[in-house]
Amino acid sequence: MTAPPAMRPRPWLALGGLLVLLLPACWPYLAGDLPRTNDTEALVFRAYALLQSLRAGDWLPRWAPQLVHGYGYPVFHYFPNLTFYLLAGVHLISGSSLLAAYRVVMCAALVAAAVGAWQLGRKLWGRDSAGLLAAAAYSYSPYILYTAHVRGGLPEVLALAALPWTLERWIAAASGSRRALLGGGALYAAMILSHGGAALQLRFRWRWARCGWGAVPGFGARCAAWPSVRCWACCLQHSNGCPRCWRLDTHKCSRATVPPTFAMT
């Protein structure tokens, strides 16, 4: 009597189940009014300001003249801009409103976070069920749900969506994959361009992991790719970071200019 053939892994079946499991997390942005969050209004206004600059031919604006009651504000000079480019891009491609574009980008970020955690779980534990469990735990973690549905922090949700993909590529880069090296650097640059704080926390946590795993034979040599990844990521995001360094002298309130009728109390 012959043994039954081993069941082949079905990643697409697990991925479909994951998308169904993710539906409640995305539902507030799929039906009804847009959730009234803390940051949605400000982000949409900034995306509109970027859209006006793009239509005027300024593809890398630093100043938003429409903000602060018409006085203008250098928001693009100090705040990561990837979120606003994504919102403007979806608006221009689809012809939808910026609010609809906000829904699309937020749902896409939540899906990307879940799929990235699923892929990372599969890579670490070698089973689709482990990836599904990791994706469910990550997608329904209180911090991601709070950031998406209470704060409306789309920039940080985008950075958190890139986090598991970045870790997966870093692990592959530590094994000697050049393609993973380039991909890990690009994803880390996307995190920096989305939310610098999230990218900075990942950097410190990765250093802690390296210290904890330093006793594993050969791990230190495999982590030699990390400086290359960081250098590549910094090169990719230099258009956003370098102008900040050039204009550090403007980061002082004593040198700020205000209208004569504005009284500071």
228-245 pLDDT tens trace:
555 655 555 555 555 555
End-to-end alpha-carbon separation of the chain, Å? Answer: 89
Q: What pLDDT is stored for residue 156 in this prediction?
A: 94
Our measurement of the distance from residue 42's CA atom to the centroid of its chain's CA atoms, rounded to an integer in Å, reads 18
Q: Provide the 10 A C-beta neighbour count for residue 35.
A: 14
Q: Does the model's pTM come out above 0.85?
A: no
More confident residue, 97 or 201: 97
User: Can you say how many angstroms the Cα of residue 136 is from the centroid of all Cα atoms in its chain?
Assistant: 18
- SS3 of 64, please? strand
Residue 199: per-residue pLDDT: 76
8 Å CB contact between 221 and 213: no
Nearest to 146 by CA among 134, 161, 159, 156: 156
Helices (H), the chain: 11-30, 40-55, 75-78, 82-94, 98-125, 128-139, 142-146, 154-174, 178-194, 196-212, 219-222, 226-236, 238-246
Q: What is the pLDDT of residues 156-170, one digit of tens each?
A: 999 999 999 988 888
| 3-state DSSP assignment of residue 264 | coil
- The residues spanned by each domain of the chain are 36-209+223-247
